[in-house]
A and B are shown apart, each in its own frame.
Chain A
Amino acid sequence: MAKEKMTGAEAVVRALELEGVDVLFGMPGGTILPIYDALFRSEKLRHVLVRHEQVGGHAAEGFAQATGRVGVCMGTSGPGSTNLVTPIADAYMDSIPLVAITANVSKPLIGTDAFQEADITGITMPVTKHNYLVTDPEDIPRVLKEAFYIARTGRPGPVHVDIPKDVLNMTIDFEYPESVHIPGYLPPVRGEPRLTEAAGLVRSASRPVIYLGGGVRHANAFAEVFEFCELVGAPVVTTLHGKGAFPETHRQCLGMFGMHGSRFANYTIQDSDLIVALGARFDDRVTGKLSTFAPEAKIVHLDIDPAEISKLVTATVPLVGDLKSLLPRLAAEVRKAFEERGKPDLAAWWKKVEAWREKYPLRIKQEGEKYILPQTAVQRIWEKASASGRALVTTGVGEHQMWAAQFWKTTKPREFITSGGLGTMGFCLPAAIGMQLARPDALVVGIDGDGSFQMTLQDLATARDHDLPVKIFILNNLFLGMVRQWQELFYDKRFSETPLSDCPDFVKLAEAYKCKGLRARTLEELDGVIDEALAWNDGPCIVDIRVKRQEKVYPMVPAGAPLNDMIGGE
């Protein structure tokens, strides 16, 4: 490629174009002006102006999760950059490929406590996969090439690039590198993967279970996972981010396990003698008390990140590598073992599992109940939305998120997008914006809580500006519900600062933002309101669903308790 003279800011825009970015999210400010000026002239990039940088970050996450591509967000120096810290940390915890670009004050001002100066690379260092402070404009093409490469390869994650304003204004000879060379990045895995040994364990197990995590999505290994699960024939459980890794309507799928998993899923994993963990990291929300986790199980742990192997639960056979390429090799070994020694008879195991599934299903006790139960609302929304065959769902964080996880039966990859690791309230609307822009033909549904929604609601304006037909269903219980639940169960019902006033009026709020606002107070109103919302296509629609205020998420494993020691859900 021939060299071309341009400013650092123009180089940033050109690099984004060359990386194939088409949508990015951000908000201008004094320091990042040079990039926005260059952006003004770009014909390839669509910039989505948000009303708060945090929203831009989460929208970029939603975009990335819905497509598997790198999400991009931007912010100016100082507060513009610190507002991005939450989505960056969120992307770090959930391994989402994200490139965040910020401008900083000019080099001579750095370190002088200048106006809108923040040591943002110092701040994002512990919550990024890698970050850069670019001090030489000639480095801009290489740094952006590396940033996108690091964000999407290996275990994906956020990369932050901070560029001082004077560096953006300097002129460089632009040449975009064709490859990256980072000597210490992604060192080759030593030794051959112990596939035969792992396959031997699968063949010998009499109570195997397959445990799917978010890594399946990051590896885009849906077909490979489906084939492996059907080959082994074992029960399949998932994490919150594993939803969509395997169809939840499939006979083998027991859905989510963990703190708010079903009893049958938790009993199954606790009683198993082999766990095949694929792209998962044994988070405390899924294992319960570690020392009592699946006491008889051997563990085959396949993950791309060697640091996750035996971090919390010791792997009997660790397999480090990319799910998409390594899992078919494991499947081939398993097939060979089955051919040589016969397929294991899992009938007795399935009988046990089915008995649990029959005895302890996830129930909705709506009958005789005066108020709408939040679970009922989720189930109805799911039934109606999924009938379209093009539904994607996102959530905020809290009780509504767990009800969504329990009752939204995910059948397709990338269908269920949520903030898991960091647990960021306010994620729903921004993510919905990103998902709808990424997948214009999708029916994007948000299931949110009244507390969560109020953290980022100002960006209804963004959704309106771009005529995004997102449907946000607020399961409104006038509480910070999950905290309230813990107060009821573990703090003797002292509801310290969890009741929320009936404010704002979400219907009027929607109208103020020129969006559609709907409300359902009774069961009789529910179906009609959901139908109307799903059919609405002129921009965003906000639905205020008044649900039973005291309803709790069950079953529940109290923090620090063994996984099979559950409250409720009997």
Chain B
Amino acid sequence: MSAEKTETLANGNTHTLSLLVENKFGVLQRVAGLFSRRGYNIESLTVGPTENEAYSRMTIVVRLEEKPVEHVVRQVQKLVPVVEVRELKPHDFVERELMLIKIKTPEKNHAELRAIADTYEAQIVDVSPDALMIEATGTAAKLDALEERLGAYGIQELCRSGRIALERGFKTLAPPTIK
């Protein structure tokens, strides 16, 4: 695939992978190690519990320069504790990310910032005389926009959770054998 072709894709050449893994010691290391040794760039990686305590779910956003995403999927599938892995197709999943952002600003600006936060359905979660913290959730694009908007006020610290995602509709990742 030429560089031109990949850049015209809606998502660039990033892909969102959803993994169901056994909830065992060292699984994160196995997955992260595979990505690093095969040269797959991780944009974000989240891991957390699922409805079944035996399994965890990972959402990995991977950026690929040349290799097709199927290569990544097949390599990840070979890891023994990985029960299932799938690329979530663009527009066929709901994605969310959480951001906490701390702004150093005199109290007189707080009302203005509160208005901006409202526009993005974000909340003020901590206030002190010369700083405040905003919590926002949404798609990465929305958080990017908010981040840019707040940049003018001087961002002190920022923390983003990375993407979590679920496929739309009734489909699930878990194979029938473990349901």
Q: Are A307 and B78 in contact (CB under 8 A)?
A: yes
**Contact between A130 and B80, CB atoms less than 8 A apart:** yes
What's the interface size class on B, roughly? 20 to 34
Min C-beta distance of A150 to chain B, whole Å = 7
Q: Is the CB of A182 within 8 A of B78?
A: no
Cβ-defined contact, A133 with B26, below 8 A: yes
**Chain B residues whose C-beta falls within 8 Å of the C-beta of A187 in the assembled complex:** 77, 84, 175
B-side contacts of A122, CB under 8 Å:
29
Q: Chain B contacts of A311 at CB under 8 A?
A: 71
**Residue ID in chain B nearest A130 by CB atoms:** B80
Chain A residues, Cβ within 8 Å of B25: 133, 135
Interface 1/0 per residue, B66-85 and A, CB below 8 Å: 00001100110111111110
A135 to B75, CA, bound (A): 28
CB contacts (< 8 Å) of B80 on chain A: these are 129-130, 150, 182, 184-185
Name the interface residues of A169-206: CB closer than 8 Å to any CB of B.
182-185, 187
A residues 102-149 in Cβ contact with B at 8 Å: 121-122, 125-126, 129-130, 133, 135
Q: Enumerate A406-462 residues with CB–CB distance to B below 8 Å.
A: none
- A306 contacts the other chain (CB 8 A): yes
B177 cross-chain contacts in A, Cβ below 8 A:
183
Shortest distance between the CB of A246 and any CB in chain B (Å):
28
22 A–B pairs (Cβ distance < 8 Å), ordered by A: A122-B29, A125-B29, A125-B30, A126-B33, A129-B80, A133-B25, A150-B80, A182-B80, A183-B22, A183-B177, A184-B21, A184-B22, A184-B77, A184-B80, A184-B81, A184-B83, A187-B84, A187-B175, A306-B77, A307-B75, A307-B78, A310-B71
* Smallest CB separation, A10 vs chain B (Å): 25
CA distance A132 to B74 in the complex (A): 22
Contact A307 to B74, CB < 8 A, known contacts A121-B26, A183-B22: yes
Answer yes or no: A305 CB below 8 A from chain B CBs.
Answer: yes
Pick from A122, A183, A309 the residue with the most CB of B within 10 Å. Answer: A183
State the Cβ distance, B126 to closest chain A Cβ, in Å.
36
Please give me the residue from chain A that is nearest to B72 by CB atom.
Answer: A307
Q: What chain B residues lie within 8 Å of A121 (beta carbons)?
A: 26
Q: B5 at the A/B interface (Cβ < 8 Å)?
A: no
Interface residue count on the A side (C-beta < 8 Å): 20
Residue of A nearest to B177 (CB): A183
Q: Does B37 contact A (CB under 8 A)?
A: yes
The residue on A at minimum CB distance from B68 is A310
Name the residue of chain B whose CB is nearest to the CB of A187.
B77
List 6 A-B pairs, minimum CB-CB distance, nearest first: A184-B83, A307-B74, A130-B80, A183-B83, A184-B82, A306-B74
Please measure, in the bound complex, the distance between the C-alpha atom of A40 and the C-alpha atom of B33, giving whole angstroms. Answer: 39
Bits for A252-294, please: 1 = Cβ < 8 Å to B, else 0: 0000000000000000000000000000000000000000000
Residue on A nearest B84 in the bound complex, by CB: A184
CB 8 Å contact bits of B116-147 with A (1 = contact, 0 = none): 00000000000000000000000000000000
Give the complex CA separation of A468 and B111 in angstroms: 87
Which A residues are in CB contact (< 8 Å) with B84? Answer: 184, 187
Residues of B within 8 Å of A184, CB to CB, are: 21-22, 77, 79-84
Distance of A150 Cα from B78 Cα, bound (Å): 11
* Beyond A125-B33, A305-B78, A309-B74, 9 extra complex contacts between A and B, CB < 8 Å: A121-B26, A182-B80, A184-B22, A184-B79, A185-B80, A187-B84, A306-B74, A307-B71, A307-B77
- Least Cβ distance of B80 to chain A in Å? 4
In the complex, B3 has a CB within 8 A of chain A: no
With CB as the reference atom, state the residue of chain B lying closest to A181.
B177
Which residues of the other chain, A, contact B175 by a CB distance below 8 angstroms? 183, 187
Residues of chain B within 8 A of A130, CB atoms compared: 80
In the assembled complex, which residues on chain B have CB atoms less than 8 Å from the CB atom of A183? 22, 83, 175, 177-178
For B21, give the chain A residue with the smallest CB separation.
A184
CB-defined contacts of B33 to chain A, threshold 8 Å:
125-126
- State A110–B84 Cα separation when bound (angstroms): 32
A187 to B174, CA, bound (A): 12
For B26, list chain A residues within 8 Å (CB): 121, 125, 133
Complex contacts, A185 vs chain B, CB 8 Å:
80
